[in-house]
């Protein structure tokens, strides 16, 4: 199981904001990837309509998961592969270890998979004496640095070129350079031998096709192809929600995924993997195993309010446009899934109280919904989680975050629905604010529990003139 440090979200976020290197590394994320995705959608002949279609495809798959997973498993087995359904992280990791022992695996090469981060696979394999080498360049960098990914598709986005240059010169014993092509060549050279020596290849799975029994991986580096074809055993990990009905669905989703993820019309490599190497094939593993993982997803599926989050295809577009992610980076979230999608999925997977600050930390600006290739309504689900924190929820085992806050909002709600008392309250507030510290016509500090509002900014005092009076005075009324 991945280490969960969601409780430290606020402290980590504060630390991240003060970190100039991180701020530098994240500074042009929005420009590079965020805006590009929206532009790339505009060039699609179907425009926005394709995102609606993608949503329908994914929702249809989620609502028929039982049938599709059964069909996927049957077809993978028909293709000569093995399928294992893992209820939780422990069961998935144990099964992988069993396969590794059977084949006397000493080294494994791995293509990027956030799911294996979620289940803490590397730690368990390494504890069993197996060397695991990440082969995606970004993952390789964070592995050398002894860190975790900070972005779903750009795991080392928090690092600057200079930092990577220093890391490579220390770990790969090369002369310092911060030239990206030179650094890529150094990583490639170091990884080539690992690919050739590996006994096991491990990959994630972007989507799986129930109709044909193929899993599909998308990459720009070609490392996944080597990880899945060179070693004699290939183990693929897949979240149970990643299945779609047929190849027609791929057509829609794989046109959107590279646009959303990297503002590309098409990914460099899309690999369709359909089991072990057959007699008439030159390349491929002797054995193929697909481990389909639940690990809390069934509970999400059972809840109509949050089921939609299972449509996610982990493109990371919502991270790239999120004003919160762009300031605090991925490590602050304390779990492999970060940004807006992480702020919904992590509380649902690890506990809503435990990860409450993630959903409370988002701004509800709606940028994530606008950019999501499968049109997931993330803001609605963030509000749903906040409502559970406010009211408590037995099904999700949520205790109320704060009774004081609840009482304050109840009072506020009552006030704004009663004109006379609201006016009276404003009058009282107008006179009381005179006792607060002010400078330049602004209030510097509010008393607890409202002090957070003025922690980093001053606020305008309440005016004696109401909105209606002002509108009348400046003749806004028709």
Under rule CB under 6 A, residue 312 binds ligand SF4? yes
Among 226, 291, 315, 401, binds ligand SF4 (CB under 6 A): 315
Interface with ligand SF4, residue 234, by CB under 6 A? no
Under the binding rule (CB under 6 A), the answer on residue 318 touching ligand SF4 is: yes
User: Could you tell me the smallest distance in angstroms from the CB atom of residue 56 to ligand SF4?
Assistant: 14
Closest approach of ligand SF4 to the CB of residue 241, in Å: 11
Q: Is residue 313 a contact point for ligand SF4 (CB under 6 A)?
A: yes
DSSP output for 203-223: E--SEEETTTTEEEEEESSSH
C-alpha 107/C-alpha 133 separation (Å) is: 8
- Rounded to the nearest 10°, the torsion over CA 257, 259, 264, 267 is 10
| The one segment of 6-14, 219-227, 314-322, 450-458 that binds ligand SF4 by CB under 6 A | 314-322
Closest alpha carbon to 10 in 459, 455, 350: 455
The Cα-based distances of 387 to 7, 195, 382 in angstroms read: 19, 49, 9
108 is a contact residue toward ligand SF4 (CB under 6 A): no
Closer CB to ligand SF4, residue 113 or residue 228? 113
Which residues in the 370-429 window bind ligand SF4 by CB under 6 A? 371-374, 376, 378
Smallest gap, in angstroms, from Cβ of residue 37 to ligand SF4? 8
For residues 41 and 51, is the Cβ–Cβ distance under 8 A? yes
Binding to ligand SF4 by CB under 6 A, coded x per residue (else -) over 237-276, reads -----------------------x----------------
CA–CA separation, 263 and 188 (whole Å): 25
Closest to ligand SF4 by CB, 139 or 308: 308
Whichever of 96 and 315 has its CB closer to ligand SF4, that residue is: 315
Query: Measured between alpha carbons, how far is 161 from 164 in angstroms, rounded to an integer?
Result: 5
Tell me the C-alpha distance between 83 and 297, whole Å: 18
CA pair distance 372, 200, nearest whole angstrom: 34
Does residue 224 bind ligand SF4 (CB under 6 A)? no
Is-contact 81 289, C-beta < 8 A? yes
Residue 274 to residue 285: CA distance in whole angstroms: 11
Region of 231-239, 262-270, 366-374, 380-388 interacting with ligand SF4 (CB under 6 A): 366-374
Asked if 352 touches ligand SF4 (CB under 6 A), the answer is no
Block residue for tokens 């992988």: 96
Q: d(Cα 477, Cα 470) in Å, to the nearest integer? A: 10
Minimum distance from residue 317 beta carbon to ligand SF4 (Å): 4
Quick check: 324 binds ligand SF4 (CB under 6 A)? no
316 belongs to the binding site for ligand SF4 (CB under 6 A): yes
Sole binder of ligand SF4 in the list 234, 314, 331, 356 (CB under 6 A): 314
How many Å apart are CA 237 and CA 41, to the nearest integer? 29
Nearest approach in angstroms of CB 13 to ligand SF4 is 19
Binding site for ligand SF4 (CB under 6 A): 260, 312-318, 341, 371-374, 376, 378
């Amino acid at each position: 199981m991945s280490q969960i440090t969601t409780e430290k979200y606020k402290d980590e976020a504060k630390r991240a904001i003060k970190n100039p290197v991180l701020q530098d590394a994240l500074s042009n994320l929005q420009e590079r990837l965020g805006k590009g995705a929206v532009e790339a959608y505009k060039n699609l002949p179907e425009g926005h309509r394709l995102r609606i279609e993608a949503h329908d495809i994914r929702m249809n798959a989620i609502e028929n998961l039982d049938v599709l997973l059964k069909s996927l498993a049957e077809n993978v087995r028909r293709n000569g592969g093995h399928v294992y359904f893992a209820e939780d992280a422990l069961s998935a990791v144990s099964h992988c270890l069993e396969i590794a022992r059977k084949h006397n695996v000493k080294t494994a090469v791995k293509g990027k998979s956030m799911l294996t981060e979620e289940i803490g696979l590397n730690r368990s394999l390494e504890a069993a004496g197996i060397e695991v080498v990440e082969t995606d360049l970004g993952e390789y960098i964070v592995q050398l640095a002894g860190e975790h990914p900070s972005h779903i598709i750009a795991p080392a986005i928090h690092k600057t070129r200079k930092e990577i240059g220093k890391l490579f010169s220390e770990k790969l014993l090369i002369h310092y350079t911060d030239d990206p092509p030179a650094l890529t060549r150094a990583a490639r050279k170091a990884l080539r031998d690992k690919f050739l020596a590996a006994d096991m290849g491990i990959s994630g799975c972007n989507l799986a096709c129930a109709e044909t029994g193929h899993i599909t991986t998308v990459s720009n580096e070609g490392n996944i192809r080597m990880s899945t074809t060179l070693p004699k055993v290939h183990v693929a990990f897949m979240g149970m929600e990643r299945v779609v009905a047929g190849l027609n669905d791929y057509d829609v989703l794989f046109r959107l995924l590279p646009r959303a993820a990297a503002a590309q019309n098409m990914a460099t490599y899309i690999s369709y993997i359909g089991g072990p190497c057959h007699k008439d094939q030159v390349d491929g593993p002797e054995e193929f195993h697909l481990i389909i993982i639940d690990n809390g997803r069934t509970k999400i599926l059972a809840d109509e309010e949050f089921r939609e989050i299972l449509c996610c295809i982990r493109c990371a577009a919502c991270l790239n446009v999120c004003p919160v992610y762009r300031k605090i980076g991925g490590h602050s979230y304390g779990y492999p899934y970060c940004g807006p999608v992480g702020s919904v999925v992590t509380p649902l997977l690890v506990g809503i109280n435990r990860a409450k600050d993630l959903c409370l930390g988002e701004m509800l600006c709606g940028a994530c919904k606008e950019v999501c290739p499968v049109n997931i309504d993330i803001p609605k689900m963030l509000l749903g989680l906040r409502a559970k924190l406010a009211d408590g929820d037995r099904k999700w085992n949520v205790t109320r975050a704060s009774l004081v806050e609840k009482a304050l909002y109840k009072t506020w709600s009552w006030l704004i629905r009663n004109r006379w008392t609201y006016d009276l309250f404003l009058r009282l507030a107008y006179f009381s604010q005179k006792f607060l510290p002010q400078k330049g016509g602004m209030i510097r500090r509010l008393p607890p529990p409202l002090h957070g509002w003025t922690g980093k900014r001053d606020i305008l005092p309440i005016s004696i003139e109401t909105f209606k009076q002002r509108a009348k005075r400046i003749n806004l009324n028709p």
